[in-house]
Chains A and B, each alone.
Chain A
Amino acid sequence: METTDLPGPVPQLSRTATLVLLAIGPEERHGYAIMAEVARITNGATRLGPGGVYTTIKRLLDDGLIEESDERPDSALDDQRRRYYRLTGMGRAVASAEVRRLDSLVRAARPWALETVG
């Protein structure tokens, strides 16, 4: 997979766009798999519907952060009509930047936030 250098400060994505990018990750996924992965990585806290999934996919496609994959899995394994999506170099760079930003926030808050909850 290719990584793209971003020209300047990385803009903050919407929460749903971030989740969809992270759900796709290094894989190639179709809409239902993305929806299931979003539910999995958020421990079921976020359950996107078809509208939420595909309006976000459209935006990410238009932004150049994801692209449709030409490859199709074995027809025995999956429906050939499904469209699969993967991250572009720019999408991977933006996702990485967002993860670093969230990681920095978590590290800053961990010393006191977890104690408070505990």
Chain B
Amino acid sequence: MTERLYRGLLLLYPARFRARFADDMVQLFGDQMRRARTEGPPVAVAATWLRAIADLAATAASEHIRRDRTVGHSLTVSPSVSSRVLGLIGIVGGAALLLPFLPVLIPDLSPDQFNMRLGLFNIGAIAIVIAVHRRQASAAPRLALLAAVAAIAANALYLVMTEIGIGRTEPMGAGAFGLVYFYVGLAMWLTDAAFGFVTLRLGVVARWGAIALATGSLLAIMGMDRLELTSATNPTIFGTLALAGVALNGIGWILLGLDVATRRRVVAAQTQEVRPGG
């Protein structure tokens, strides 16, 4: 009867934890109660019950909070210096992309300033892709590498294009240069989105950062000049969606940057060498 009541209370734990340990916990509690009855003073049974309820309340709550975390919750180390640096560069890049959304703080940018800001954004994106890839490469080596290489290549190409564009008198989208610039831009948004989806699927870093990056990148495509879905003279809903997408993309890089710069790493899986004896 006592053990059945205790087993009922174990419903407070997550189902997966219960499936794994409920029988052992009931057995341990039964041992405690038997010992309290046979060896303890008259109040020992009541004291054992009280301690079990306090223990259950504290540990069931904590188990619910951390059940989705990766293994190794107790065995983690701070992010490396390189992760912190890459994360910081990514945060700056994401913030650079968001600057025009703060017109009160930032006045209208000249075309060259606009391109320099995009360059900063591309450098930040590349930094984050490298940092995130280092974390998720072991989860799915080929998929992670494919997504990372594509995103780095497209962002690097876009960086080159925008830096070449600094000082040009013609608009960026004009002529043959503009056509190449369009396709490189399209490749950048698509590979950013793909990287976001892969990161979301692998689940190694911040979920919300990956979602913002993936959806933002896809939405941003709607604002590309040559698609003619919207323009400065004929603004449509696609223009608004594209702006929201650019903002989401910037937020995504910032969230991922915060994650790689601050999240503690699990080291238990990094076993290198086993030697007998000891």
A residues engaging B (CB < 8 A)?
A: 1-9, 11, 13-14, 17, 30-32, 35, 47-55, 57-60, 62-65, 79, 81-83, 89-90, 92, 94
Contacts and interface: CB of A to CB of B under 8 A. Distances in A.
Interface residues of B, number: 43
Nearest to B12: A51
Contact of A63 (B13, B51, B62, B74): B74
Contacts of B51: 47, 49
A16 to B, nearest CB: 9
Given A17-B74, A49-B51, A50-B29, 7 more contacts: A4-B273, A13-B74, A35-B28, A51-B55, A55-B62, A63-B71, A94-B75
Contacts of B134: none
Contact of B72 (A7, A63, A81, A82): A63
B90 to A, nearest CB: 24
Interface string B38-82: 000000000000011011101110110000000111111100000
A60 B75 CA distance: 9
A65 B268 CA distance: 8
Given A55-B59, A63-B268, A90-B268, A31 B24 contact: yes
A64 B268 contact: yes
Contacts of B201: none
Contact of A5 (B21, B32, B272): B272
A48 B71 CA distance: 22
B58 A62 contact: no
A83 B267 CA distance: 27
Interface string B135-153: 0000000000000000000
B231 interface: no
A2 B59 contact: no
Contacts of B25: 31, 50-51, 53-54
A117 to B, nearest CB: 29
A30 B23 CA distance: 13
B226 to A, nearest CB: 50
